[in-house]
Amino acid sequence: MPDLLLELRSEEIPARLQRKAAGDLRKLVTDALVEAGLSYEGAREYWTPRRLTLDIRGLTARSADVREERKGPRTDANEKAIEGFLRAAGLTSISEAQVQSDPKKGDFYVAIISKSGRGAEEIIAEVMPGIIRDFPWPKPMRWGKASSQPGSLRWVRPLQSIVCMFGPEHEETTVIPFEISGIVASNITYGHRFHAPEAITVKRFDDYVASLEKAKVILDAERRKDIILHDARDVAFANGLELVEDEGLLEEVSGLVEWPQVLMGSFEEAYLSIPSEIIRLTIKTNQKCFVTRKPGEETLSNNFILVSNIEASDGGKEIIHGNGKVVRARLSDALHFWKRDQGDLPDLETLEASAKKFGLDLKKPLDQRMAKLDALNVTFHAKLGTQGERVERIRAMAAKVAFPAGADYKLVDRAVVLAKADLRTEAVGEFPELQGVMGRKYAVLQGEEGVVSTAIEEHYKPQGPSDQLPQDKVAITVALADKLDTLIGFWAVDEKPTGSKDPFALRRAALGVIRIILERGVHLTLLPRIVSHMARIDMDIGNTVAAEDMSRQLDLLSFFHDRLKVYLRDQGARHDLIDAVLTPETDDLRMVARRVEALTAFVSSEDGKNLLAGTKRAVQLLAAEEKKGTVVADGVSEALLKLDAEKELFAAIKTVSAEASGAIEKEDFRSAMAVLSTLRAPVDRFFTDVLVNDEDAAIRANRLALLRLIREATGTVADFSKIAG
């Protein structure tokens, strides 16, 4: 079976776009071929800075012949119906259709549509121009004289050549010549821009890869990454150092080079007085270089690893020198930022009002930055006011969270006040991703309590489902207060996530709240805090909403429920058990998780399975009678209990209800479940020996009341009717 090789060669494609673009090319081409009736054994995409390549193996040489029967109208249908049928079937006359009979519907027309298969070459030549022209680049460009013409080709960077080869593995291959905007597909490609710019004639994928490698191009991005990583480790080791690995940077650098050459540069040791995080980000962001350190140490060395795309004749000396000059210049700027942030601001007299508002000490640099943040009225969000107003609201929320989290409120308040101060530092202005990190460093320098400094950094955590959680109680409190304020604020102004759009990362914030509550064991009820905090926000921003309107608050609680379901399902919990525990008003997420855990163990046991079956039978029977309007007694009358089985069940329910309630008050849900399991035998016996719908209306009402007691007893833990099985 023949193979297909496609290469689209252009000017340098931005590294961040390459992997997705290659995947898009594979999907678009294979989908188009399959839709046209071809099949294939396998397809793999490749990419370098200057090319996207697709290798499709085992492609069928021809699409299959198609025979389709299209049913039409009855033979006695009106002319318009018949004309429509002829148009849809591609027939010129009704005589070309066949007549078939149906015993029930009578005679009707059928069109037999036969389509001959087409050669793969024809199909490929037909689909490729459209795929290339409509390729989903985020910001395509036009170029050259043709760019002024309507409908000219748009591509991420100027497209230079196309290779399209088709043929069996061991026979001659042919070019599939299609054309787009003057570029005609051929069997010619080119190697490394500097080392091997000559034309290369291509036959099939294997010789294509080998020819490119001779021409200083490594096609496989994963192989380029592997070369860079191992050579960087070796160079660092040879100099008594270890590489500080960075997967994101490695991915980016592998997309900048076709022939990776790993070199080591250095800078003056004086720059090591700058925090390691700033050094690393400066070198990474500006020069795409890796940093190094001595084995086992946290602080960096003054050596960095760079990756060149050129195998220089001088061994890379000039390349190292040029990169070193840029690194030194950037580090000089970073050192300037670092020192400036530790000094006094020039306009302290204008910050006194803000300092008084937040209890700040203007002798301390970080306090000055917080006062400046407030005095400048830096906007947090157009509908939610300034950063200073937001910090005040986070303080208010932190006051409601500190006690349940077991944190010292004075330390919490100090941490909240300084948590956003580093947004006004020059280091964070240059490197926004260092917010929190720089706040902690500046807090340590001005002598803040350790837990306060740590909370300034950790209150942004967790940043995702696998990110670390804050450790200390102060940091936990500030993190919860910050995220809750964010969520409640955006719900107050109706800026909720919609579909896949979540510009303010509110799903991540909700998951952060859930993870902290569950994994750090914080006993926090959400609804009262949502209600009171939203009322404050409404007052701050002038929202006029009726006090009795709880739709936004309950909607936010429902949002937490949705995130909690996702979290618990990811932990292995059954969706029906989660639904059995959750009610629209449930706002203690920690209790939900513990109930689900206990319920999971319970329904897995033999007693649990049997009690579940009996309870569901009782609940369903009771619900059916309630729906019919059958009278159910307000309470169970012992005088009307005639049979031993119903007396035994009534006594068991009274005992179990009291014991289960006591266990639930102690948050011992496993014990509550164990107590409930003792109902299994009396429930089973009740349904064996007792006829609920007795002819005596009073006895029937009494027995239905007994079933209601079963529902109420089990309902203290979960709604058993929602549990499958």
**Tell me: the pLDDT tens digits for 588-621?**
999 999 889 888 888 888 878 877 887 888 888 8
**Is residue 278, in this structure, part of any structural domain at all?**
yes
**Is residue 573, in this structure, part of any structural domain at all?**
no
DSSP, collapsed to helix, strand or coil, labels residue 273 as helix
pLDDT for 324 equals 95
Choose from 74-88, 187-201, 611-625 the range with maximum mean pLDDT: 187-201
The CATH number that applies at residue 354 is 1.10.3210
pLDDT for 147 equals 81
Which of 101-115, 156-170, 226-240, 522-536 shows the lowest per-residue confidence on average (mean pLDDT)? 101-115
Whether residue 600 is found in the same domain as residue 639 = yes
**Is residue 586, in this structure, part of any structural domain at all?**
no
pLDDT in tens, 123-137: 999 999 999 999 999
Q: What is the DSSP string of 87-115?
A: HHHT-S-GGGSEEEEETTTEEEEEEEEEE
pLDDT for 499 equals 83
Percent of the chain with pLDDT over 90: 68
Please say whether the beta carbons of 259 and 311 come within 8 A.
Answer: yes
Token readout for 247 is: 């997967």
pLDDT for 556 equals 96
Q: Which distant-in-sequence residues (6+ apart) come within 8 Å of 75 by Cβ? A: 99, 106, 107, 108, 109
Which of 350-364, 395-409, 494-508 shows the lowest per-residue confidence on average (mean pLDDT)? 494-508
Confidence of residue 169 (pLDDT cuts 50, 70, 90): confident
Q: Is 704 exposed, middle or buried (0-12, 13-18, 19+ CB in 10 A)?
A: buried
| Domain finish residue from 215, 245, 270 | 215
Whether residue 19 is found in the same domain as residue 34 = yes
Confidence of residue 575 (pLDDT cuts 50, 70, 90): very high
Whether residue 383 is found in the same domain as residue 532 = yes
Let me know the angle formed at the C-alpha of 560 by 557 and 565, rounded to the nearest 5 degrees: 130
DSSP, collapsed to helix, strand or coil, labels residue 297 as coil
Q: Is 632 exposed, middle or buried (0-12, 13-18, 19+ CB in 10 A)?
A: middle
Whether residue 31 is found in the same domain as residue 10 = yes
Residue with tokens 């002829």: 86
Is residue 65 over pLDDT 80? no
Q: What is the DSSP letter of 525?
A: B
pLDDT for 610 equals 75
**Mean pLDDT within 72-101:** 84
**Is residue 110, in this structure, part of any structural domain at all?**
yes
**Cα distances (angstroms) measured from residue 608 to each of 119, 193, 469, 714:** 63, 71, 35, 11
pTM above 0.85, yes or no: no
Residue with tokens 């995409």: 45
Closest Cα partner for 418 from 462, 358, 468? 358
**Is residue 611, in this structure, part of any structural domain at all?**
yes
Phi/psi for 161 (5° steps) reads: -160, 160
Please say whether the beta carbons of 227 and 217 come within 8 A.
Answer: no
Phi/psi for 479 (5° steps) reads: -60, -45
Please say whether the beta carbons of 216 and 192 come within 8 A.
Answer: yes
pLDDT in tens, 422-452: 999 999 999 999 999 999 999 999 999 999 9
Please say whether the beta carbons of 365 and 339 come within 8 A.
Answer: no
Phi/psi for 631 (5° steps) reads: -70, 130
d(C-alpha 492, C-alpha 501), whole Å: 18
DSSP, collapsed to helix, strand or coil, labels residue 702 as helix
Whether residue 232 is found in the same domain as residue 284 = yes
Confidence of residue 194 (pLDDT cuts 50, 70, 90): very high
Query: What does pLDDT average to over the chain?
Result: 92
Q: Which residue has the higher pLDDT, 547 or 520?
A: 520
Token readout for 710 is: 């079963």
The CATH number that applies at residue 632 is 1.10.730.10
Domain count along the chain = 5
Terminal Cα distance for the chain, rounded: 51
DSSP, collapsed to helix, strand or coil, labels residue 407 as coil
d(C-alpha 26, C-alpha 56), whole Å: 9
**Is residue 583, in this structure, part of any structural domain at all?**
no
d(C-alpha 88, C-alpha 533), whole Å: 62
Whether residue 191 is found in the same domain as residue 336 = no
**Mean pLDDT within 252-269:** 97
Please say whether the beta carbons of 290 and 246 come within 8 A.
Answer: yes
Whether residue 370 is found in the same domain as residue 468 = yes
Q: Could you tell me how many residues make up the chain?
A: 725
Choose from 222-226, 606-610, 687-691 the range with maximum mean pLDDT: 222-226
d(C-alpha 427, C-alpha 136), whole Å: 37
Query: Radius of gyration (Cα) for the chain, nearest Å?
Result: 36
Whether residue 322 is found in the same domain as residue 280 = yes
Whether residue 352 is found in the same domain as residue 444 = yes
**Mean pLDDT within 400-407:** 95
Is residue 144 over pLDDT 90? no
pLDDT for 446 equals 96
DSSP, collapsed to helix, strand or coil, labels residue 73 as strand
d(C-alpha 515, C-alpha 17), whole Å: 33
Whether residue 401 is found in the same domain as residue 499 = yes
Confidence of residue 725 (pLDDT cuts 50, 70, 90): low
List beta partners, residue 184: 179
Element (H, E) at 282: helix 276-287
**Is residue 563, in this structure, part of any structural domain at all?**
no
Alpha carbons within 13 angstroms on the beta-carbon side of residue 100 total: 12
List beta partners, residue 3: 167
**Is residue 7, in this structure, part of any structural domain at all?**
yes
Domain coverage including residue 54: 2-61+119-215
Phi/psi for 235 (5° steps) reads: -65, -45
Whether residue 549 is found in the same domain as residue 630 = no
Element (H, E) at 352: helix 352-358
Token readout for 686 is: 């009740």
Whether residue 106 is found in the same domain as residue 125 = no
**Mean pLDDT within 176-189:** 94
| Domain finish residue from 215, 242, 260 | 215
